[in-house]
A = this chain, B = another copy of it.
Amino acid sequence: MVDGDRSENLDGIFSAISDPTRRAILQQLGQGPERVTEIARRFPVSLNAVSKHLIVLERAGLVRREIRGRDHLCSLNGQPLREASAWIERMRGYWEERLDALERHIAAKQKAGRK
């Protein structure tokens, strides 16, 4: 298996990026790979907490880890985000059409009766 156990991991992916600390880690990691301790230094929580966050991100496939001696170099993996994005866009594709009309309808109703 070249790519690991990918595909239909949406639970883990969305769950992983639902945490603000984890999103911040990902954003930071977007600037380039970093060691665990170095990542942790930017957050007001313990190293252990960050380590756990990284494990979560890794299991969701969002982060890859390259062990170099005693350092763990963490880097991003774009594939899961592509999956997540694909799901959202598929959803929006289903709606959008009907949504335009519907939302105007609701908005009007809200403006009128809702206070």
* A interface with B by C-beta (< 8 Å): 2, 10-11, 13-15, 17-20, 23, 26-27, 30-33, 64, 66, 75-78, 81-82, 84-85, 87-89, 91-92, 94-96, 98-99, 102-103, 106-107, 109, 111
Among residues of B, the one whose C-beta sits closest to the C-beta of A14 is: B18
Q: Quick check: A30 and B85 within 8 Å, CB to CB?
A: no
A56 to chain B, nearest CB (A): 12
Copies of this protein chain in the complex: 2
CB distance from A10 to the nearest CB of B (A): 7
Which listed residue (B75, B95, B102) contacts A106, Cβ 8 A? B75
Determine whether the beta carbon of A94 is less than 8 Å from that of B18.
no
Q: Nearest residue in B to A15 (C-beta to C-beta)?
A: B18
Q: Report the Cα distance A78→B103, complex, angstroms.
A: 9
Q: Looking at the complex, which one of B10, B96, B109 makes contact with A23 (CB distance below 8 Å)?
A: B10
Chain B: minimal CB distance from A81 (Å): 6
